[in-house]
Homo-oligomer: A and B are copies of this chain.
């Protein structure tokens, strides 16, 4: 049996028996090191021509993105970053300048969050592989998990989805710039920047601590690195609940969409990018609706309540205004490593 026969999820399932069961299932691992502190650790491996490519990604951007993905995992757990380590496997003919530019991009992102590179490893390999481990700390009462969403919780997104995917499309197919004729240069650059320089939403944490009483912190969630639909589905599966997402309920209570995408794509394409695009690195958070309204207001910038948690174990997309039939979302649309399809 090969890895491709069972896919990433199948292999993960087989390997879970080697890990303590209580620490599986979130964006990072949590280790309680004392009464007031949990250590959160997360790790990502990026392989040249699988996770980044010279066509769409400069070394600086590859560095920024790899760091941003890890810091986003920390944000998704509620943790403040302490540092990262970088393991770098390189062919011997790699240009030194490429490596320095990669580190330049990493540190540009890290500096925004006062996070140091604290160690690493350099080894020889036939293919460039970047392995980053980030670690942070969080008060045990402020940990954010996937498995604690409650019925009637409001579902909040911290910003727009689909922009990163659209930016990638512009980078992959420069000829589309002719097609998207209603996009001005600023729109295009904003979409491309969303792909090249995603911002981990660590800024949301102090707002959460501020609005949620320390003694009864009731926020669940994860980041949307694999897409908005994936995040909602993963949270619902882990929490054994369902959700209704609203396409057009109220101005501030629906899935927010990029204005640039509205100028460029059909409604069906926009929905596709928004739900399944991935790599926007926003947070998807579930919390009581009165807190959710305060949260959305304080975050601003396209943060929105997109729906609510239900007891029915499905994730349903509802369009109350256009009276389209409800759609049931499924994980099979999400990104899976190893599968050849």
Contact = CB atoms under 8 A, between A and B. Distances in A.
A83 B50 contact: no
B337 A20 contact: no
A124 B126 CA distance: 15
B338 A118 contact: no
A100 B11 CA distance: 9
A64 interface: no
A85 interface: yes
Contacts of A137: 33
A119 interface: yes
Interface in A102-152: 103-104, 106-107, 116-127, 129, 131, 133, 135, 137
Contacts of A51: 123
Interface residues of A, number: 72
B93 A3 contact: yes
Nearest to A63: B18
Interface string A40-52: 0111111100110
A186 interface: no
A271 interface: no
Contact of A119 (B41, B47, B99, B117): B41
Given A89-B45, A89-B47, A337-B124, A19 B117 contact: yes
B121 A43 contact: yes
A70 to B, nearest CB: 10
A18 B337 contact: no
Contacts of A249: none
Interface string A77-100: 000001101111111111111011
Interface string A266-284: 0000000000000000000
A216 interface: no
A8 interface: yes
A118 B19 contact: yes
Contacts of A321: none
Interface stretch (A23-31, A158-166, A192-200, A207-215): A23-31
Contact of A122 (B11, B88, B99): B11
Given A3-B99, A45-B129, A50-B124, 19 more contacts: A3-B90, A3-B93, A4-B93, A5-B96, A14-B100, A15-B99, A18-B107, A20-B118, A29-B83, A29-B119, A31-B82, A39-B135, A41-B83, A43-B133, A44-B121, A85-B133, A90-B338, A124-B337, A129-B129
27 contacts: A1-B95, A1-B97, A2-B96, A3-B94, A3-B99, A4-B92, A5-B96, A6-B96, A14-B99, A14-B100, A15-B99, A15-B103, A15-B122, A19-B116, A29-B118, A39-B135, A41-B83, A41-B85, A41-B119, A43-B120, A45-B131, A47-B124, A50-B124, A51-B123, A89-B129, A125-B129, A129-B131
